[in-house]
Structure 1
Amino acid sequence: MNKYLLNTLIIALLPLCILCQGREEGFVRTDTLGKTKNIKFIGLPIAFYTPETQFGVGGGGQMFLLNNTNRYNQRLSNILFSGIYTTAGQIMFNVTPQVYLGKGDYFIDADYLFEIYPNSFWGIGPDTPEDNEEQYDQTTHKVQISFLKRLPPHLNFGLTFNFANHQITEVEEGGILASGTVLGSDRTVISGLGAVFNKDSRNDASAPTDGQYLRLSAQFSSEIFGATHGFNKFVLDLREYIPLGGKSILATQIFLENNFGDVPFQGMAFFGGSSSARGYFYGRFLDKSMYVLQTEYRHRFKPRWTFAAFGLIGSVAGDTEELLEFRSIKPAFGAGVRYKLLKDQGTWLRLDFGSGRDGQSGIYFGVNEAF
């Protein structure tokens, strides 16, 4: 643990600015590489750490469209791309365009991900034993495109198209995945349309100190669109940020996910990770339904330093009724610090330690708040 903290602090002392994008990534911004009247391009070296990836390094860039601004919150249209290699042997390439149309009245939010991802699997359900762990390799192509309409000042709604091709390339001989009894144990294609509604009144998307965020989404995977399995996914994400005096806030989140139909394990709810359930390996528990209730106290004890303490409970289950019985509750708690890299820019380094049940724990180094 001391070694991880030392390496993290060395990275944190770099006089650079870190941005955040994607599942487990931190971006270190360098100087502007190119700028015209309409476009600004920035280079982005990358460094981060999570239990799932271990240390990750890479590079990329972000292109800002300077004449294409959302008039409601002054966010610029941009295209972000990155390439990453981790010490766990994972390779990831990601492109994320975010384009505002009509000065923010319409919004195109897209994401393309290619990854070669060695990972761990313990089986499906809330009570899988630790000694079930087995390794598998998976190659994924994933595309998501959303087209949203804004209802001023804070509401957005629209349609999404989702496509993911998961190819299992290697499994452990004699393991659960090798038995062929788990949906998705060889190849899975998830493809279909969906709908999304959100309300976002946060004063800052990356490290909010006031406001609310509500997201409701429904995704439908169907063989009509080339999917190998037909199922439906419904997600509720509700967050609130309550100021407590001038230096502290209380952040809360309720997250619910329900899947119905023939759900491959890649499409199930994954419990754990650096955002929703710190203290548990991302995917340590997975099933058709999941809930996470978490709260975090954040206190800025110096202009550029913040202390945070968090606690959560959650679990997974085979259906909604079983989930609402609140069996196999998985608690976690932890603490961390944040450091604001530049006085005039709201980007924060984050270092957290989380501890869960049965010896589960994790160190998380990245950027901006977990939620």
Structure 2
Amino acid sequence: MEISKHIADTATQRDLIDIGKKLLKIKQPSGVDSTGQKVYFSFLPFSTNVPGGGQALITTTTAGFYLGDRSNTYMSRMTFTPYTNFGRRFGLPIRSYIWFRENKWVIDGDIRLLKYPIETWGLGREHHHDDHLMMDYTYLRVYQHAMKRIKDGLFLGGGYNLDYWMNIRSREHIALSEYTGYPYGTDDQDYSISSGLSANLIYDTRANSINPWAGNYANIRLRMNPKFMGSDQNWSSLFVEARRYHRFTRDTNKQNMLAIRHFLWTVFNTHAPYLDLPSLAGDTYNTSGRGFPLGRFRGKTLYYAEAEYRRNITDNGLFGFVVFANATTVDGPGSRFFKSWNIGSGAGARIKFNKNSGTNIAIDYGISRHHRGVHLSLGEVF
């Protein structure tokens, strides 16, 4: 499998690690051999407001590494983002995207244990922005998929998916079922389980998923959740995503790119639990919908599109900027699918943390009609 020709030349780049070594007068270590077994870590701690009030401490650790020779193996990534308010709110998400030697197999995983409050607005535009309901729950997610290369960048496989929502309750004087008008996963049972298998197909020609320098990505996931595997209801879903990274220059020392992504997410049975319905920021890294609150829109079918222009400010790649815009349409009360659109936009700064893994500190400011906020992350948003 041929590796993308658009790979950044790190020899002339600078990052925060280079600056730290210079200030502390640390000698540069010897080079890494072509197998690239070295792990490149990036770490970012920060504090943020949480729904329901208060502050939470969030730390993000991203690791980029190779499990084979760099000439024929893409960079793998693992991201660990624990957070806590040092009370009864915490999150332990671990996400991975692992490329095996010569890109013969790719395995992606998403494991989370969360306990925190979240705002919800019902289905579609059922409620105004200020008329949200505050919920509490504990959530366990276990997604694990393995895919084998069929040809070039095309991979086919499957995996297991578990969503276990526990102790679901409203923090207001109105029941979740009454507020949403949706009967599944909102009743007095106070928990819901979705357990099942998925068929997965991806097409991926990105040499580095932490900071794609070029290439294309597509993902199709058909998930089935039968009762005999532990689900409360028989239901299924389809997630289809495509991304394009188009460079305007052949100079591998410069970032000048338009990145585009869009996805369609739908469920095929009216019995799907409320918290498992397609929602904004419900994607793997919770990155969709900059400029909107987490989970602002939810429905049985959701379509999302986003474009982002990325460019260096300094020639050595240490500083850069982005501008972005996104659009969401969802079915439900008060909105018509593909006719009612919700628009967000914004801009952000990029600071190179680790040039070897391409990891940036991403600081984005997004706005929409009723909301604005800062989004911090390690690595590009998509």
Q: Is the structural similarity TM-score above 0.5?
A: yes
How many aligned residue pairs are there? 334
* CA deviation after TM superposition for structure 1 residue 41, in Å: 7.7
Residue 256 (1) aligns with residue 264 (2): yes
Instruction: Assess, with a 3 A threshold, how the Cα gap between structure 1 residues 164 and 361 changes in structure 2: closer, same or farther.
Output: same
Aligned pairs for 1:163-174 within 5 A: 163-174=162-173
2:241 aligned partner? 237
1:75 aligned partner? 75
Matching residue's letter, 2:280: F
CA distance, structure 1, for counterparts of residue 355 and residue 62 of structure 2: 23
* CA deviation after TM superposition for structure 1 residue 202, in Å: 1.9
Instruction: Show CA shifts across 1:242-293 (max 9, x none).
Output: 1113441111112111112112121111125862211111211111111112
2:4 aligned partner? none
- 1:271–1:315 Cα contact (<8 Å) kept: no
Instruction: Show CA shifts across 1:8-67 (max 9, x none).
Output: xxxxxx9569xxxxxxxxxxxxxxxxxxxx997888755246666765334779697x76
1:26 aligned partner? none
* CA deviation after TM superposition for structure 1 residue 194, in Å: 0.8
Out of 222-231 and 51-60, give the one that drifted further.
51-60
Instruction: Assess, with a 3 A threshold, how the Cα gap between structure 1 residues 288 and 49 changes in structure 2: closer, same or farther.
Output: farther
Instruction: Assess, with a 3 A threshold, how the Cα gap between structure 1 residues 250 and 68 changes in structure 2: closer, same or farther.
Output: closer
Aligned pairs for 1:13-28 within 5 A: none
CA distance, structure 1, for counterparts of residue 17 and residue 88 of structure 2: 26
Instruction: Assess, with a 3 A threshold, how the Cα gap between structure 1 residues 79 and 322 changes in structure 2: closer, same or farther.
Output: closer
Matching residue's letter, 1:126: R
* Greater strand content: 1
2:124 aligned partner? 125
Instruction: Assess, with a 3 A threshold, how the Cα gap between structure 1 residues 98 and 256 changes in structure 2: closer, same or farther.
Output: closer
1:362 aligned partner? 373
* CA deviation after TM superposition for structure 1 residue 336, in Å: 0.8
Instruction: Assess, with a 3 A threshold, how the Cα gap between structure 1 residues 370 and 50 changes in structure 2: closer, same or farther.
Output: farther
Matching residue's letter, 1:256: L
Matching residue's letter, 1:47: P
Secondary structure (helix, strand or coil) at the match of 1:287 reads: coil
Instruction: Assess, with a 3 A threshold, how the Cα gap between structure 1 residues 205 and 51 changes in structure 2: closer, same or farther.
Output: farther
Instruction: Assess, with a 3 A threshold, how the Cα gap between structure 1 residues 254 and 347 changes in structure 2: closer, same or farther.
Output: same
- 1:90–1:116 Cα contact (<8 Å) kept: yes
Residue 56 (1) aligns with residue 60 (2): no
- 1:339–1:350 Cα contact (<8 Å) kept: yes
2:11 aligned partner? none
Aligned pairs for 1:67-146 within 5 A: 72-75=72-75, 83-86=82-85, 90-96=89-95, 103-146=102-145
- 2:204–2:218 Cα contact (<8 Å) kept: yes
CA distance, structure 2, for counterparts of residue 100 and residue 313 of structure 1: 32
Percent identity, please: 23
- 1:126–1:328 Cα contact (<8 Å) kept: no
Instruction: Show CA shifts across 1:64-90 (max 9, x none).
Output: 7x76678733435x7765542148963
1:297 aligned partner? 309
